[in-house]
A and B are shown apart, each in its own frame.
Chain A
C-alpha cells in the first residue's frame, strides 16, 4: 500500500516540479503515472523510495511514513525497475538478480534457487544465461533481468520508471505481455511511470494523468475516457480515442446490450472473461468469423455489426449519464 498526501517538490531554480500530489494505491493494484516529459511523474516516483526528498507532504509505504524508515531498508523492500535497466555490467545475470537478496543477507543457496525460479518465469533459460554478462544479452533480455532483479527479494512494492521505454515496439509488446501475466506481481502494489498511453491502458488498473507537476485526473481507463475531468484530459487522449475506447470497454460492460441468443454447438475458442471490445474485434478480423463469449454460463455469438452497435449504444448511455460507468 502506498499513499501520498499533498506532496510538493520544487526544482533548484524554484520552479515547482510536483505540486500538491495526493493518491493512494492498494495492495495488488497497479497505478500508472501517465504524462509527457516534464510532467513530474518520475519525480513523484523517486520520492517514494527517497531518491528525492519532497519539500512538503507525507508519503506512506505499507502504512508507515517513509521518513520514519531507514533509507536502505526501505529501498530494499521496494523493487525498482529503470528505463535503461541499470544492470551492473561487472556482475553476471545471476549476480545482478541476487543483489538485493545478498544485501538482505540471504544464504547463497536460497539466492540461487530464487534466481533460477525468476529466470524461469521470465523466460531466461538459466543454463544459457545464469553466468552471462548483461552486455551479452539483447535489450529485451536485459530488461527482463532488470525486472527479475526488482522482484528478487519479493518486495511488497514495485516502482517502475518507464520500464519498457528503451525497447523496440515488438520487444516492448512481448515483455509487456509477459509482465502482465506474471503471477509475481498479482499481490504487489505497483506504480509505473510511462508516457505511452496504450501501455498505461493495458497495464494500469488506474491511471493518474499528470501535467506540469499536478494531477489532472486519477481514475480507471474508462473514467478518464468517458468522464474526463477537464479539457486537458480530453485533449490528451484525442488522437487514439477510438482505439483506447475499444480497449477500455470490456465485453462484460456491454453484455446487456449484446444479442442474447444462446449458442449450443461446440466452439473451439471462447474469449476470456475480461476481454475488451478491441480483443473481440481483433479476433473477428483474424478469423473472419463471429466470436464467442460466455457469461452467466451461457455462450453467446457476437459478430462485428452487433458489437459495434452495442459499443455505440453504451457510449451514448454513459455520456448522457455523465458519470463513471465501470460496472465491473
Chain B
C-alpha cells in the first residue's frame, strides 16, 4: 500500500475512464427510468380504473423488487445475454414498483370532492385525468420517480458485472484489487449522482402548481437527454471483444500488463467472473481473462493462450493462517498440510468442473476426493475450540475450504466452520487480519502483487521463479501481518487469456503475441 498514489492523482490519471463510466452510469439509470415511467405511469393509471388488477400488478412489481439485484441480473443473462440490454431491463424492473405504486396512490389520494366537482361540471374522463388527477398526483408521482432514480443509481453499479459498464467497474475493481482510491473513484461519483438526482427531483416536487405544467413538458425531454449519455462512449474498436473481470482490469499482471508488455489494445468490457466463461462460449465475448484451473475452461471448451512474455506471475495456492491461531492450536498445521502437494492443475480443473458445471455440492466433491486419496477420517466432534476457514467467492476456494474443514474435523479436536463466498481478496484478507477468519487459501501471486503491492524492481526480480515468490511472501506476511504461509497445495491457478478453442484454431492463435498480431491486422 505504501506506494499507492493519492486520491486526487488517481482521479487525474483515470479522468477519461471516470468520465466514461459516469456517463454510462447516468445513461443506464435514465434509460431504464424513462422506460419505467413510460410503462409504469399508464399502468398506475390503469389500475386506478380497474381496481381488480391493482392487487395483481402491485404484487408482481413488489415481488420483482424483492429479488436480489445480482440475482435479477443473473436471470436476465440467459434471456438477453450480457451488456446493456439485461442491465437496462433489470433496472427497469426495479424502478417499476415505486412508479406504479406512487401513480396509483397519488391519483387515489386526490380529494374526492375535487373529482366530484370536475365530473359534475362535465369533464370527460380524459379531461379529468389530464387536468385534475395527474397534476394533483404529480408530487406523489415525482416522489416515486425520485425513489426509483436513487434505487437505479445504486443498482446500476452492479451493471459492471455483466459488461454494461458504469461506475461499478471502479468499485468492484477496487474491492478486488484492494485499491481504496479506485473504490472511492467509483463510489464517490455514484453517491454524488444519487444526491444530485435526489435533490433535482425534490426541487421539481416543490415547484409551484403553475410551473408543474412546464415541468411536465421538460421532464421527458430531460430524461431522453440523460438517457442518451449511455451511447456517448461509443464502441471503439477491434474485431474481437474482450471481457475482463474488474480485478483483472486494474492489475499489473492483468490488463495493464497486457497493454504495457504485449501492447495489446482491444475493445474491452468489464464483466463478472461468474458469467464470463459462458459469455465466451456463447460468442458474446471472444477473449476472456480466466483462471487456468477453472472448471469452466473444460466445460465450455476454451483454450488457454500461452503467456509467451511471462506477465502472469505464479499463483500457487497455499493456506495462509494467523500465527496466533497456529500458536494456540499446534495440531492445526499438520492437519492442513495433509493436502500439500496433492492437487495439481488438472486435478483442480477437474474438481472445479464437477462443482461449476456438473453442479455437485463442493462439500461432497471435497469429501469424495479426500476419500479417494485415503485422507478422509470421520469427524471427531472435538470441542477444543473453533477454527473459521474463509474462502474467496471463486470455485477453488469453496472446495479447498471444505477439504480443510474435513481435515481439521478429522485429525484434530477442533471444530472447523467455513465462511465461504467472501467477495474478493480485500474482503478475505481484511477478515483474516481482523481475526474474523483464521485461515483461507491464497495465491502467491495475489499475495505479492495485490496484498503486498511490492515495488516494480522487487517484482521483476522474483516473478519468473515460483519458489522466490513463495519465499518472499512468506517472510513479508510474517513480518507485516503475523500471518503464516503453509506449504503450497500444488496447483498454479494463474491468470490466463482464453478463447474458444474453435475460434483460436481458425485464427491460428495460440499465444497472446499471436492475438496481438491478429488484432493489428484486423
Contact = CB atoms under 8 A, between A and B. Distances in A.
A90 B122 contact: no
A86 B136 CA distance: 13
A297 B119 CA distance: 51
A74 B209 CA distance: 30
Given A90-B136, A90-B212, A133-B209, A82 B120 contact: yes
Nearest to B213: A90
A91 to B, nearest CB: 8
A74 B124 CA distance: 12
Contacts of B120: 49, 51, 75, 78, 80, 82, 86, 159
A103 interface: yes
B71 interface: no
B121 interface: yes
Interface string B133-165: 001100000000000000000000000000000
A75 B122 contact: yes
A51 to B, nearest CB: 6
B121 A76 contact: yes
Nearest to B127: A103
Interface residues of A, number: 27
Contacts of A76: 121-122
Contacts, number: 64
Interface string A88-108: 111100000001100100000
Contacts of B209: 89-91, 133
B383 interface: no
B113 interface: yes
Given A84-B113, A87-B117, A90-B212, A73 B122 contact: yes
Nearest to B110: A89
Nearest to A91: B209
Contacts of A13: none
A235 interface: no
B117 A80 contact: yes
Interface string A209-227: 0000000000000000000
B119 A87 contact: no
Contact of B123 (A72, A89, A149): A72
Contacts of A89: 111, 114, 136, 209
B117 A72 contact: no
Nearest to A146: B117
Q: Which of A72, A86, A149 is the most central at the interface, judged by chain B CB atoms within 10 Å of its CB? A: A86
B132 interface: yes
A76 B127 CA distance: 13
A103 B128 CA distance: 11
B119 to A, nearest CB: 6
Contacts of A90: 135-136, 209, 212
B506 interface: no
A85 interface: yes
A51 B119 contact: yes
Nearest to B119: A51
Contacts of A149: 121
Contacts of B422: none
Interface string A23-56: 0000000000000000000000000010100000
14 contacts: A72-B122, A72-B123, A75-B122, A78-B120, A80-B120, A80-B121, A82-B116, A83-B113, A85-B113, A86-B116, A86-B120, A87-B117, A89-B111, A103-B122
Interface of A: 49, 51, 71-78, 80, 82-91, 99-100, 103, 133, 149, 159
Given A83-B113, A100-B121, A103-B123, 8 more contacts: A51-B116, A75-B122, A76-B122, A80-B121, A86-B114, A88-B132, A89-B209, A133-B209
Q: Which 5 A-B pairs have the closest CB atoms?
A: A86-B117, A75-B122, A76-B122, A80-B120, A90-B209
